[in-house]
Structure 1
């Protein structure tokens, strides 16, 4: 056999072997897919959805299956958006919102919506306008957390068919025009003035109530003192009456004489230099008292 034929046969066999090796390597390269932890890959076969590859090593059929979309499953934040809304009390407000979401089912996101960010932003804007239109301005300011919860729930329902999970919705600010701000400031000042007047009036009313309570307490104490004095006098009269009933007229005369003596003693005890004039009846009263006193002792 000529040398040329041997060389040609050897080269032909090596080329076939090399081509076979290249084909096997190409099949391995095309058939083995390593998907990162933060991604999911959408595989198509002849233009139709074949599978969704999760993180790790995956195998597909070379030349038939092809990775068409590589979708990040990390949480995303939409750009801060501003939209005008009118409250139930006809106040124009500008609401700044921000939405966070992530893709859970890439096959729905890829085949059901073209621009997912724009779609979510439009949905949020419509929901915000609708919800704020149901509330007055004071409720928007004071119940922001409830409003955020309502918006998040409604957005989740709206984007459920897109394979998206809304993780958070935030209302960053509610801005008012200058005229509305001035009107609210005037209203706030008027409310503060009204509260101050109410507080002052309450203080005066409380002072009057306390003064009246003090007078009532003093009157009650005075009445109680008078009642005690009256009870004491009644008791004394009762004792005198009892003595009169038991001892006759002499006991009464003795009691009267003692009272006269006590009255004269109080006059004499007063300070100063004065002359005390005793009537003749007083002298007789001393004598009667002394006689009664002696009679009582005997």
Structure 2
């Protein structure tokens, strides 16, 4: 027991003498510092069997986002870089976090245990397989962007933060992809990335690390699935092309039908206007003709009312001529001749013709004709009336010929024309 106590005391005194500052030249100072760091490092102390190794850990834990792979040595005076946090342990226990700038450490008992970078870091997530909700196996890889917000938790909250974050990102990705179909995975990358980021942040709070964003880099589907997707895209494009072509044909047919419709409407409106104009012209012509006829009838009626005998005879003659003229036209226009039942009775025919006018008074007509003959009035109407009366008397007496009477009347009509 006494020998062990003497060994510890001698070792401690030797370390204290070695740690005393000495005046050296500028060129020899770096060499002395390196020698001190090498001889007083945890590995060197373990190799020499230094009893103080029980107070200082020999194996440094893996660093997360460290500036270099090796930890900086305790050279009493150190300069901490910007955006970097150094974790100092004193006698194996957390002592403080060195901020950027000048830092003074105690030799032997102070040790820089962890170096944490406070910058944003990109962590590559290796490729992994995941199965979608519709049972399609995908190969995915991504990039995770993180930052240390608490150097103490990042150092002591997890053994290997980098490995833990990577594994958490992979498992979260598998879980999120298993809830989506292949189409949703391809279409909703942004939502998938946001869900993975939220899940990682929820678990990484105790590690002093925050996940800023996660980006899926590549998605590899099986070859048959890729070929099926290509065929689907081709079919979809063909479908769209056919739909657009049919829409074009439909619109073209509609335009043609609209054009024909407008053409028919315009043509019907033009025909309507033409018929209206023709009807208006015909109505005006009929009105003018009826007006002229009415005026003529009024003139004859006024003449008769005024007691003009010549007017009465002229009317009777006109009716007889029109009657005979109608039979002449029937004989010319066709082979069939329509005659009344009393064609042998020319007197009845003339009487029927005269009845059309209004059954003119025969007594007045005979008296007018007699007066005209007795008075010796040499007028064309008087002569014609006299001839007709003579023919009527012959027919009534049975001495006249019906055919001769009709032919004479027709000859007179033709001569008049």
What TM-score does the superposition give when structure 2 sets the normalisation length?
0.49
1:189 to 234, 258, 261: 234
**Over aligned residues, Cα RMSD in angstroms?**
3.1
Structure of higher RCO (CA pairs closer than 8 Å, 6+ residues apart): 1
CA distance in 1: counterparts of 2:239 and 2:224, whole angstroms: 23
Q: Unpaired segments of 5 or more residues in structure 1? A: 1-18, 252-287, 289-298
Which residue is 1:133 aligned to?
178
1:41 to 86, 90, 93: 86
1:55 to 80, 100, 111: 100
CA distance in 2: counterparts of 1:140 and 1:171, whole angstroms: 10
CA distance in 2: counterparts of 1:154 and 1:235, whole angstroms: 91
What TM-score does the superposition give when structure 1 sets the normalisation length?
0.67
CA contact (8 A) 2:147 2:209 kept: yes
Deviates more, 1:229-238 or 1:214-223: 229-238
CA distance in 2: counterparts of 1:184 and 1:162, whole angstroms: 42
Distance 1:234 1:59, change over 3 A: farther
User: Cα deviations across residues 93-136 of structure 1 (Å, max 9, x unaligned)?
Assistant: 11111112222211101111111111111111111112222222
Residue 225 (str. 1) matches residue 262 (str. 2): no
Aligned pairs, number: 232
CA distance in 1: counterparts of 2:207 and 2:22, whole angstroms: 39
Deviates more, 1:57-66 or 1:177-186: 57-66
Residue 87 (str. 1) matches residue 132 (str. 2): yes
Deviates more, 1:221-230 or 1:52-61: 52-61
CA contact (8 A) 2:125 2:170 kept: no
Q: Unpaired segments of 5 or more residues in structure 2? A: 1-16, 24-32, 34-73, 297-416
Which residue is 2:221 aligned to?
176
CA contact (8 A) 1:30 1:63 kept: no
CA contact (8 A) 2:157 2:208 kept: no
Structure with a larger share of its residues in strand: 1
Larger radius of gyration: 2
CA distance in 2: counterparts of 1:64 and 1:96, whole angstroms: 45
